[in-house]
Amino acid sequence: MNDLDVIPSSDALLGRRVDVIVSGSIAAVESVKFIRALRRLGAEVTPWLSHGGATFITPMAVTWAAGKDAVTGFSGNASHIATSDAVVIAPASSSMLTKMARGMTDSHCTALLASALGQTKPILILPSMHDSLLAAPAFKEHLAKISSWENVFILNARLEEGKQKFPDAAHLADEVAHIINRPKRPKSKILVTMGTTRGYLDDVRYISNYSSGTLGSLISEELYRQGFATYVVLGPCERKPTTATILKNVLTTGDMLAACNDASSQGLAGGIFCASVLDYEPTVKTSGKIKSGRSSLSVSFKPTPKIIELISLPGLTKIGFKLEVGLSESEAEDIAKNYIQKYQLTMLITNELSAVTAETHHAIAFSKNGTHATLNSKSEIAQHISKHLSQVASTASI
């Protein structure tokens, strides 16, 4: 790698060209990280530095971030005529947005915006300013006007210290990717169950499986940046998705089933069941707290509902997970054949406990058509599922 290269984390924006306008705000210092984050998703980024932006950050900095020269003014090759797939203004100052609302083309940046508007290209805006500027009556009118235009999207800033601040660069890049890719997925709500569930002994104590939430988060985040609408049903875990269309927190297996039924009633294009669901829960939950000091405590258990069986998705993508101990590849294949038929799955991903650590995650993905793939990390699993759903979406118009 040379100093300009980035390590790809996703292909969500591969082949996409994105213009990034950096306008006059102290948040301009965050634009280097943001441009690099877009490139890690595969985007080819052209940086546009406004005259105001250049008072906070140099052309050299954004040129380095993008790996190509920054546009700092008008040129003889008519570069202000928009030819990219999308334009992002991050940060977007009050002055820049006011000029945009008024249709002014007095700079290379405002002319680019007018050209993009004239072609109804996606324009994504991250307002960045003091709250008092955001609340100014004239600016509120300008922002409302801009927001009503076709293919204009207002991104969420980080609210802190009375200011609209730049959010985490990677999270913002994911939001941009989702908006750019969303038109490819007009009917693509995907259910993702993740985390674990609890069975309560009393109001304080419970039993549960362990789940860090990392795999489920990586899967749901990748699907989101690929443009899918994600309905994430999230049981207790350490790692939670940074992006999702809908995120529903649950505690028990019954809660998770109810949330899945709710998602299913709204229409789904597929379901990914990667939650570490508790198979048995206490038969009786004691009200309050069981007193300590007993010489022994006996607890009886009952089976919990089998969510993957009860959520029927006939003809749609349905992916399950199976964790076992001491599992050979031949045993994994036998389990996969059984589960795929029993639960009407399109894919089952099998895991062997000793091969799952915080650093590694070896798994085998068995497909309904008889093929299988060996995967070596949580990120590979997420990418494999995403590609599978994208292929289905391209042929089934979901």
Packing angle, helices 214-225 and 169-181, rounded to 10? 50
Model confidence pLDDT, tens digit, residues 238-269:
999 999 999 999 999 999 999 999 999 989 99
**218 in any annotated domain:** yes
Co-location of 208 and 272 in the same domain: yes
pLDDT given at position 395: 64
Q: Is residue 269 part of a domain?
A: yes
pTM: 0.93
**Which structural domain range is residue 281 located in?**
189-396
Is pLDDT of 357 > 80?
A: no
Of the three residues 139, 168, 184, the one that is the final residue of a domain is: 184
Q: Are residues 198 and 260 in the same domain?
A: yes
- Do residues 211 and 116 touch, judged by C-beta distance below 8 A? no
User: pLDDT at residue 351 above 70?
Assistant: yes
How many Cβ atoms are within 10 Å of 87's Cβ, its own excluded? 25
Q: What is the mean pLDDT of the chain?
A: 93
Pair 273, 163 in one domain: no
Residue 1, in any domain of the structure: no
% of the chain residues with pLDDT over 70: 98
- DSSP states of 273-303: E--B--SEEES-PPSS-PPS--S-----EEE
Q: Dihedral of the CA atoms 17, 98, 30, 88 (nearest 10)?
A: -10
- Distance CA(182)–CA(186), nearest Å, equals 7
Same domain as 203, residue 68: no
Planar angle of CA 381, 384, 388, nearest 5 degrees: 140
Question: Average of pLDDT values for 326-355?
Answer: 88
Give the pLDDT confidence of 113-157 residue by residue, as tens digits: 999 999 999 999 999 999 999 999 999 999 999 999 999 999 999
Q: Are strands 198-200 and 206-208 parallel, antiparallel or unpaired?
A: antiparallel
Domain boundary residue, one of 162, 184, 206: 184
| CA separation for the pair 250, 170 (Å, rounded) | 27
pLDDT of residue 394: 65
| Interval 176-188: pLDDT, tens | 999 999 998 877 8
Q: Evaluate whether residue 12 is within a structural domain.
A: no
Answer whether 352's CB lies under 8 Å from 359's CB: no
Domain shared by 254 and 155, yes or no: no
